[in-house]
Amino acid sequence: MKIDPNMIHKKYGQVQNTAETNTVKGERLTYKEGQVVKGEVLDATLTGVKIKLTNGQILDAKLAQPAMFSIGDEVALAVKEASAKQVLLTTLHQDPQLVEDKLITILENAKLPLTEENHHLVRQLIENNLPISDQSLKNFIQLTKQFPEATVKQLIFMVKHDIPVSSENIQQLTMLENNEHALMKSITSLADDITSIQRSELSTSPLIIKDTLSVDQTPIPLTLLTSDKNSSEFLSNLNQVIKATADLNIETIPMPTSKVPLGDMLLTKDVENLSRHLKHNMVEQQNNIIEKLPLSDAQKLLFEKLETPKQMNLVDLVTMTKEKLLPLDQLRGILIQLKTDSTYATLVKGMLMSKDTLGDMVQVKDYYKSLNLKMTDLIKSTELALKDESGHVLKEAQNVKSSVSFLNALGKDFSLMHLPMLLQDQLQHSELYVLGDRKKGKDGEKSITALVRLDLVNLGHTDIHIKKTGKNLDIQFFMTDEKQISVVNENLYGLHNLLNRKGFNVLSINVTPLQKSFDVVTDFLDGQDVKANISRYTFDMRA
């Protein structure tokens, strides 16, 4: 289901004036909300108008929505908002024929055909407060022909915010609109593609044939994507053990030296699958033994370790075979699957952002620089050129670079960060949008509004809107299923207490069915009218 990040802006991003009176005094006049003012237009733009009122006073005001007025027009407008510094007016009614006549005039002056497409283009330019000239119209028409896959709305959005118009950026924007953010998708797809090459190498190459290939040789240089020393040690040791099992001789299998816990190398679901597989095979092995002998102390210890599979390591797996609890051929199959699963987990964790990064904006910015550099090095890699015959890895690496560039372009005009994160191993996908409000509240604190979008194994799709001002929190869960809502409602009290213990003051917290769609561009991005001021902040995502 599509969500609409502008719900955040509409709910939290706008300054509330409920504490102020709706009657504001100017030098000579008092304007009230809903008051109708009439007069002659002295000057006009798409967003503002200067009117000589019927009593002779001059009113210089902003327009709530773009409107086309000409000097000398007699107008009647309503006061929508008023303050000591600014009056905001809205149109009472515009004659549709008058609007149509002006559109025709604009197109005729530009010597452009009076087609439905051109009418639509002019309307969109007006609604987005963009200048309308012969050249600008011709430029946009040329863009619509050059990029037929893009909508007029997308082209205007990109031009308006100085985002280079290209097929890559149009694809990025389309995915953002469809809530399928390209960066998250490309990272996981890249991990999938590299893992597939690893799996193919394990099943077809000499890597698992004894004494034919160096154990340190990997199909694709994983060190380009992750610098985790434990992963490097684990995978190298795992390669050695896989190589040693090639002739299915238990006597020649060396005891691994790596003590890295499996929980550090696998996603939670993969640890659970491994544990179930081991239990089944070990129990079956015991049942197949004709002479039933009591379990030795070493065998009992191994069965006990199955209860905490995340703490197990390669030594435990090999020991199971040496203690005759796990046949050698089954150990070999488990190790090959372990190679696949640990490679994927290593890549994902190496490319996604960790929750510890959130507290430091320097680390957040460095994350994107580092990710872009990793992709550049991967694309230049000779090993990749030799192994990536289909070109899938190269394509996804380029997609990641395009996503980073697109986000950088968005960041110039919007207080928006997209943080591709793996908050928990059970998290399938996660996105965090952060909207910073540069206006200060009554206590002088700046507000930070976040949209956390999660696809959880146990709760399905969940959106969490959080507004943080100082230590004050407003939290709203949006969920798609009645069972999800029930589960979260049952735990709200505990969450409230947890946040209080961490020093936060929870002003409100509730759960709402997710019904309205969420348009990232229209609702979240177009709702912002200020450039981003990214500053350091602390946001405890563990809570």
Banded model confidence at residue 438, pLDDT cuts 50, 70, 90: very low
CATH entry, 22-82, from 3.30.870, 3.40.1000, 3.30.300, 2.40.50: 2.40.50
Helix (H) / strand (E) element for 195: namely: helix 182-204
**Looking at residues 57-78, what average pLDDT do you find?**
82
Highest mean predicted confidence (pLDDT) among 166-170, 267-271, 286-290, 416-420: 166-170
Q: What is the C-alpha R_g of the chain? A: 31
Q: Mean pLDDT, the chain, as a whole number?
A: 75
The predicted pLDDT at position 467 comes to 83
Banded model confidence at residue 456, pLDDT cuts 50, 70, 90: low
> Which ranges of 77-166 would DSSP assign to H, the alpha helix?
96-109, 116-127, 134-146, 152-160
Bridge partners of residue 36, in order along the sequence: 78
pLDDT exceeds 80 at position 97 = no
pLDDT exceeds 60 at position 199 = yes
**Looking at residues 493-506, what average pLDDT do you find?**
90
**Looking at residues 21-34, what average pLDDT do you find?**
53
Q: Looking at per-residue confidence, does 376 or 93 come out higher?
A: 376
pLDDT exceeds 70 at position 3 = no
The predicted pLDDT at position 16 comes to 33
CA–CA distance from 485 to each of 463, 497, 507 (Å)?
A: 12, 19, 20
Domain locations in the chain?
Answer: 1-20+412-543, 22-82, 98-149, 163-411
The predicted pLDDT at position 206 comes to 38
DSSP-derived secondary structure letter, 354: P
Residue range 139-153, pLDDT digits in tens: 888 898 899 999 888
**Looking at residues 442-462, what average pLDDT do you find?**
65
Lowest mean pLDDT among 20-29, 67-76, 130-139, 357-366: 20-29
Percent of the chain whose predicted confidence (pLDDT) is above 90: 9
The predicted pLDDT at position 262 comes to 92
* Helices and strands, counts by H and E, the chain: 17, 13
pTM of the full predicted structure? 0.63
pLDDT exceeds 90 at position 311 = yes
Residue range 222-280, pLDDT digits in tens: 777 877 788 888 988 898 898 888 887 888 888 898 899 998 898 888 898 999 999 88
Highest mean predicted confidence (pLDDT) among 26-40, 214-228, 359-373, 394-408: 394-408
**Looking at residues 513-542, what average pLDDT do you find?**
48
Q: Looking at per-residue confidence, does 316 or 230 come out higher?
A: 316
The predicted pLDDT at position 33 comes to 78
Highest mean predicted confidence (pLDDT) among 8-17, 49-58, 77-86, 474-483: 49-58
Percent of the chain whose predicted confidence (pLDDT) is above 70: 71
For the chain, first and last CA: distance in Å? 26
Banded model confidence at residue 318, pLDDT cuts 50, 70, 90: very high
pLDDT exceeds 70 at position 428 = no
Task: Please give the order of strands across the beta sheet that includes 427-440.
Answer: 416-418, 427-440, 446-456, 460-469, 472-479, 505-513
Q: How far is 394 from 421, CA to CA, in rounded Å?
A: 22
**Are the CB atoms for 238 and 346 separated by under 8 Å?**
no
pLDDT exceeds 50 at position 124 = yes
Lowest mean pLDDT among 58-62, 120-124, 191-195, 435-439: 435-439
